[in-house]
Structure 1
Amino acid sequence: VVTAVLDHDGEVAASVADTLTAETGVDRGWIASFAADVGRATVLVVDGNCVPDVVRAVVECAERVVGEWANDERKPIVWFEPVSVAKSTRATRCLRGLDFASPNAAECRAMANSVRATANWTRGDSNPRPMDASIFEFTSAEAAVAEMGDDVEVLLDAGVGAIVLTLGALGCVRRVGGREGRRDRRRRRGGAGAARCGG
């Protein structure tokens, strides 16, 4: 349930959301009951309000898509929307199953720090990066890329296909890992799905 107040320009001025249903009413069994729908989907957006077990269940369901009922007999694109810093780490255990993730800078840093903290992380420094809010006040997309580049690379190295780093009024930056290139050979894509984002 979401209640939003819009200003005179149509922008959200205030909002209150109750995400309890997503956190308590959705479980692995509920996800499994929609397996056929998952197979027909082109894109699955996984909301960070879902608990880690549900995020993993969606990823696993998408990976099992096969057969005549599948969407062009291809796996759906799985897109993770973190929704908040606290909930951004809910996909840590299944990053390899994500084709896209669209964190803001703070969410991206939290996700990367979560990867760095795992016992099997061996591709560089495992120390967490600072989370001070002032770090994420960028004046340009270039400044964001300079600050966030290592965090984005950590997520790509952990298996995410592409990161769409959202920067508010500055737009967004898309960074593609090696896996998305392999996916393009398996699936033809056009339109916005193949486009680069910009501010």
Structure 2
Amino acid sequence: MAKLGTQPLMISAIGDDMAGNFLLKYWKLAGLCTDGILQVPDITTPVVSNVFDGNGELFAGVASVQAVETFLTPSWIYQFYRRISTAPLLMLDANLSPESLQAACKVAYESGVPVLFEPVSVVKSSRIAPIAEHITCTSPNEIELIAMANALSTPGKYNFVKLEQCNNKAESVDYLFEMLSPAMLFLLEKGIKLLLVTLGSNGVFICCREHVNFMKDQKRCKVTPFSTQLLEKLEGCSLSSMPVNLSREGSSRTCVFHLPATSASVVSLTGAGDCLVGGFLSSLCGGLDIMQSVAVGIAVAKASVESEANIPANFSAASIAGLSHESLSASLFCGIGY
């Protein structure tokens, strides 16, 4: 997000060890505010080890995030009440403990701050259940989407697609839409306003109510030089050009759009999902609309998969805008439900 011109406040916990010190140094060199980083002696900085298959897809992973669950407490979150309450949005990931997730949602709810929930994994995605009514947006992949729907449903009442059916990345977009629609509609019924379902090389489904308004207070947005260039180049490419009116208050209709991924010369898939979410959030904070912001996220993810580093050293606004325009031009209106 910082490389896209946004200045986020990170709130987390790390150890006073080599990994923790490296991260702090890196963040400071990047110009990021580290006020929200709690460095605790005698604990291990969270780490993850991933195993990828021959196609570069994640096959298995082992994560050690006990420091976050133990030390990123509600009391630490409440110390940043004012800064959260004046932020344009809040992003939470499912590595937080259930108690901390609820505390953060409480601050956001009391302040009218929209919340994005990042599921992290199939297992941890179920942590959305107690806080779903406070979540504005979530960004699951196909399997996490089904896991979240199952976590929120009454056992035996709904028959969502089995998780193993979501493992075939070669399925057509039409098939994926048919397979995932029940779960997407169900999550909207549970109070979530916007779904960004990531489909890997198949792009992203955007599922929302017609009257969705992610950024409730546009005054909190901060237009940056980077976002200004994007706004200028993407003018006219937005939800307003779609065959529905997403600003009509009082409508209960549900709209699903598909934005395709742009072709990429894959070097590494590590970091692509994080870059998509980071690009989306940075663009929203910079004044772009939902559709434009998702397209920017897709473009940033492409830059990530074509880089050996998880996050490329820098981004070109002209290149990101061009790729975003390409994705928006190929977007599809999948359908409407009630």
TM range (shorter): 0.7 to 0.9
2:180 to 148, 151, 160: 148
CA distance in 2, matches of 1:61, 1:26: 15
Which 5+ residue runs of structure 2 have no aligned equivalent?
1-45, 224-230, 232-282, 299-338
C-alpha distance after superposition, 1:96-146 (max 9, x if no partner): 11110001111111111111127xxxxxx7234243423342423332211
2:217 aligned with 1:187, yes or no?
A: yes
- Does residue 57 of structure 1 match 2:103? yes
C-alpha contact (below 8 Å) 2:133/2:191 kept by paired residues: yes
**Structure 1 portions without partners, runs of 5+:** 66-74, 119-124
Is 1:38 aligned with 2:70? no
How does the TM-score come out when normalised to structure 2?
0.47
Deviation digits for residues 155-192 of structure 1 (CA, Å, limit 9, x no counterpart) = 100000101001111121111136624x66x4337963
Matched, 1:164 2:189: no
Q: What percentage of residue pairs aligned between the two structures are identical?
A: 24
Closer, same or farther: CA 187–40 of 1 in aligned 2, 3 Å = closer
CA contact (8 A) 1:2 1:15 kept: no
Note closer, same or farther for the CA distance 1:82–1:179 as it changes in structure 2 (3 Å cut): farther
Name 1:127's counterpart in structure 2: 158
Contact between 2:117 and 2:135, CA under 8 Å: does it hold in 1?
A: yes
Distance, in Å, in 1 between the alignment partners of 2:93 and 2:145 is: 15
Cα distance change of structure 1 residues 112 and 132 upon mapping to structure 2, 3 Å threshold: closer
Q: What does residue 97 of structure 1 align with? A: 134
CA shift, 1:57, in A, is 1.1
Q: C-alpha distance in 2, partners of 1:4/1:179?
A: 41
Q: How many residues align?
A: 179
Give the residue type in structure 1 aligned to 2:131.
Answer: C
Q: Is the 8 A contact 2:161 2:179 kept in 1?
A: no
Q: Which has the larger radius of gyration?
A: 2
C-alpha separation in 2, matches of 1:117 and 1:105: 20
CA contact (8 A) 1:117 1:128 kept: no
**Aligned-pair RMSD on alpha carbons?**
2.9
TM-score (norm 1): 0.76
